[in-house]
Amino acid sequence: MGGQRHIVVEGPIGAGKTSLARRLAARLSADLVLEQPAENPFLARFYQDMARYALPTQLFFLFQRARMLEPLAQPDMFARPVVADFLIDKDPLFARLTLSADELALYQKIWEALAPQAPAPDLVIYLQAQPATLVERVRRRAAGFERGISEEYLALLAESYARFFYHYAAAPVLIVNSENLNFVDRDADFELLVSRMRGMKSRREFFSLG
């Protein structure tokens, strides 16, 4: 898609970012870089007792994300396109939401020492959805480690994402209201999105149906 060789799909839990990232990678013959939440040994316990397990959960994800992005810090001009389902810049968003003041101070020091100097994406697709929609989607897929997620937490997360992307300016952003879009099961929806991506004329655009 022209100069869009490094694309990131982002959004709160249940927004559909991983499913869309997979389909975009297939369309672009791109390397796929996906978060691996099932690898985090603290995640299920975090959703049951956030105060106790927030710090180890957060640090595990930070180490995982940094390791996965290391190759992008040394770009190869002949490399294939890349599609990822996470933006490491958003990592502190979760930390601020769940960590105590002392834990956040420790996290910030580790973040500053560890965060890879990966290039900014060519495009970020930010998927939005109402908290009730996120809850319904999470319940429907029923991944074991997600069963403890509360509606209150998803609402806070959606709000935090909205604030983050309101200020985010490191890359062009296509803000997608995914309430009435199904990029996995409806080919027409996916083709509409691809068309909007290709036709972007400014660094921040909005895409919605209905």
Token pair 């709160």: residue: 12
Q: What is the pLDDT of residues 147-199, one digit of tens each?
A: 678 889 889 999 999 999 999 999 999 999 988 888 888 999 999 999 999 99
Classified as helix, coil or strand, 5 is coil
Taking the C-alpha atoms of residue 121 and residue 123, their distance in angstroms, rounded to an integer, is 5
Per residue in 98-108, pLDDT (tens digit) is 999 999 999 99
Q: How many CB atoms lie within 10 A of CB 141?
A: 9
Note down the domain range covering 67: 6-207
Average pLDDT over residues 32-36: 94
Q: What is the per-residue pLDDT for 160?
A: 94
**Position 164 in a domain:** yes
Q: How far is CA 70 from CA 33, 59, 67, 88, 169, in A?
A: 11, 17, 5, 11, 22
Distant-in-sequence, close-in-space partners of 119: CB < 8 Å, separation ≥ 6: 6, 72, 73, 75
Q: How confident is residue 210, by pLDDT bands cut at 50, 70 and 90?
A: low
Question: Any residues with CB less than 8 A from the CB of 102 and at least 6 apart, and which?
Answer: none
What CATH number does the domain containing 28 carry?
A: 3.40.50.300
Total structural domains within the chain: 1
120 within domain boundaries: yes
Measure the CA–CA gap between 123 and 5, rounded to whole angstroms: 8
Q: What is the DSSP letter of 184?
A: T
Residue 36 lies in a domain: yes
Q: Residue 166 domain-assigned?
A: yes
- Is 1 inside a domain boundary? no
pLDDT in tens, 129-151: 988 888 888 888 766 667 678 88
